[in-house]
Amino acid sequence: MRRILLPAFVLCFLVSGFSVSTFPQAEQRKEELPHPKTLEELQRAMKEVVEKHHVTGAGVALVSNGQLLWCGGIGKADLAANRDITCDTEFRVGSISKTFVALALLKLEEEGRINLYARLQDVAPEIPMKNRWASRNPVRIVNLLEHSAGFDDMEPSEVYNRHDRVDYPLLDVFKRFQEPQNVRWPPGTRFSYSNPGYGVAGYLIEKITGQPFDAYIRQNILAPLEITVGDFRLTDANHAALAQGYQGHPPRAVPYKNIYLRPAGDMKASPGELAKLVQFFLRRGKAGNLQLVKPDSIARMEYPETDSSAKHGLPLGYGLANYTESDGGVITHGHDGGIDGFISSYRYMPEQNWGYVVLLNSTVSGKALGDLNHLAIDFLSKDFPKPQQPVISLSGKDLKNFSGYYAPRAPRNQLLAFMQELTGGTWIRVADGKLESSSLFGKNREVLLPVGKNLFRGEKDPEASVVFFPDSSGRMIYVRFDQNGEPNEPYGERVFPIWVFTRLLLLAASAIVMASALPYAIFWGFWLLLAKFIKRVRRMKHVRVCAVPLFAVLSLMMAVFAFTKATDDIGTFNFWSILVFVWTPAFTLLSLAGLTFAVSVPREEIHNWARIHSLLVSMACCTVMLFLSAWHLIGLRLWAP
């Protein structure tokens, strides 16, 4: 499951100078990988990637001409047991689970038991949901499957099921954690990945069939595909074959944690079993001689229809738990996944009748997964042409219509939206008669080639990956799907950038001033000691004027430290999460108190430089405090629904 863990660097970012260089807008340039021509060369290249990136183990399956070409493993499934990975080793495959949920709903639709374009409120009014656009833009079931419902991602305490029974009712999950179902913008306009949406989709399977969602999927999807060990539930069979998940280097074993949103990410499967899923897609819905779902349903899965980018002509995107990806000059379909100790991917290319599965039992390197994917694509597509959509001519005036700064307006997780707002925007400029994209400060420049009046592609992309269009209020919108599966920019809105730079300048200046309180404390602390032991040294009056701003800075540092510890056990009521809750309000009170003291003390009773410095530090603290308040980080309760 592509789960949301609040990374430890969120608050660290706030006190480290808000350096935009800390958060690059794109991955570093790929190192040149070999171009294997034989299966043996590919296996050797994959082994080198696994070893280079210190990945514990990888399970791989390759399908060529619709047939299984190779299925096997590299490295260890369990270091303590010295168990090798094989074709039959089970992995937690995270969000690949969503593909099986979408297939189940498509099958139910073909049987006439559900309409994917029905309003969610009509099918399941018992699900808590707030949508102020309901009269014109209701949430439809298909919006859940395409992540276009406007839902937020999981709350911190919604990630893991630590205390309830394993099969805790999904409806009770939605009633306990209601915030993600508060729709943030008109449904059907923007893509934003939401695990709770697929939790709701799993609940709909249960309501329609009268069975647990996993039981229905096991009987109607997994069994026809001859997936006999893989399952959403942890059974005796898949537990015995399950790889141990690891993180870090040297590798540390990750315990198996239950999750609340089981439909979104609790599937276990082996490379060999997911190869059967790949073959099923290549055969357009056939499992053996059985047409399990119609070819039209498979085609519908592979491309989006409901978000604005699709409606304005961009074919690439997230369909029904099956999304397009551009890599190696080829457009593939499939899904990735990630959960504690595991990352995974399956991709296929129906026009060329090939596909692959890559499963890792280590989260030490996302780049390793990307490199293994690239090697598989390069090898399987080596004998096929790689045409590119032809470029058309657009005038400089036409290109100018798209230029400007585009601010991100579709955050996956609302709690972390401020990070995207600070440095996540995109510049679009016209340079040398060509449209060009770059990050906020002009890095990662890339030429965008026109393939339609509002459609563009990167120089290496086979077809359109960028679309521009006006929204309902006339503002220009920019959407880009890139090589990472999810959008590079899911929904950028053109804005005047002066506030973007002003905000960064304010925060950077505030961080610098706040940092000066620490060395200054050494100075006045030393002065206090001198005054205590040497009578001729004049005593400092109103020490609180210097001390309170220092304590404000220290309280924020304590909140940061507590936050880094709290993320190790996210979503629980513990010592560190309590400190986050306590220290952030303390920072607010101390910031205001410091400002009050600096202003109220009579001039003749304190040195001007001491007053000015304390005033500046307090004002900087108050500036940061206002931003933290606007971002809802003051009094943050990481354990609360």
The residue-averaged pLDDT of 75-91 equals 98
Q: Residue 542 above 70 pLDDT? A: no
Model confidence at 523: pLDDT above 90: no
621 touches 514 (CB < 8 A)? yes
- The CA distance from 190 to 202, in Å, is 22
**Residue-level pLDDT at 537:** 47
Mean pLDDT of 79-88: 98
Give the mean model confidence (pLDDT) for residues 319-340. Answer: 95
* Percentage of residues in the chain having pLDDT higher than 70: 91
Per-residue pLDDT averaged across 333-347, rounded?
Answer: 97
Q: Which two tokens stand for residue 542?
A: 């109103």
The mean of the pLDDT values for the chain is 90
Residues 156-186 have pLDDT tens digits of 999 999 999 999 999 999 999 999 999 999 9
Alpha helices in 188-269 (DSSP H): 195-209, 213-217, 236-241, 262-265
- Say which range, 34-38, 233-237, 546-550, 566-570, has the weakest mean pLDDT: 566-570
Mean pLDDT of 36-53: 97
Unique residue bearing structure tokens 């357009």? 284
Closest CA to 229 of 90, 415, 425: 90
pLDDT above 70 for 8: no
Tell me the pLDDT band of 23, cut-offs 50, 70 and 90. Answer: very low
Nearest to 103 by CA among 237, 246, 267, 300: 300
Residue 259: the pLDDT is: 97
Which stretch of 109-123, 285-299, 527-541 has the lowest confidence by average pLDDT? 527-541
Give residue 539's pLDDT. Answer: 56
The confidence band for 317, taking pLDDT boundaries of 50, 70 and 90, is very high
pLDDT for the residue numbered 438: 93
Provide the pLDDT for residue 13: 34
Q: What is the dihedral of CA 179, 181, 187, 188, to 10 degrees?
A: 120
Residue 16 has pLDDT above 50, yes or no: no
pLDDT of residue 529: 57
Judge whether residue 5 has pLDDT over 70.
Answer: no
pLDDT tens digits along 215-269: 999 999 999 999 999 999 999 999 999 999 999 999 999 999 999 999 999 999 9
At residue 551, the pLDDT reads 92
Query: What mean pLDDT do residues 528-547 have?
Result: 62
Average pLDDT score over residue span 521-533: 60
pLDDT in tens, 348-394: 999 999 999 999 999 999 999 999 999 999 999 999 999 999 999 99
- Amino acid 603: pLDDT: 72
pTM given for the model: 0.91
Read off the pLDDT of residues 180-214 as tens digits, 9 standing for 90 and up.
999 999 999 999 999 999 999 999 999 999 999 99
Distances (CA, A) of 192 to 183, 410, 414: 11, 6, 10
Cα-flanking dihedrals φ and ψ of residue 69, to 5°?
-90, -40
Residue predicted with more confidence, 215 or 327: 215
DSSP state of 259: B
Q: In which band, very low, low, confident or very high, does the pLDDT at 641 lie, cut at 50, 70 and 90?
A: confident
- Rounded distance, CA 543 to CA 321, Å? 61
Give Cα separations from 245 to 338, 344, 363 (angstroms): 11, 12, 8
Question: Helix axis angle, 608-630 relative to 544-566, nearest 10°?
Answer: 30
Instruction: Please tell me the predicted confidence (pLDDT) of residue 442.
Output: 84
Write out the E strands in 232-380: 246-247, 252-253, 268-269, 286-287, 290-291, 323-327, 330-339, 342-349, 354-360
What pLDDT is recorded for position 337? 97
Residue 624 pLDDT > 70, yes or no? yes
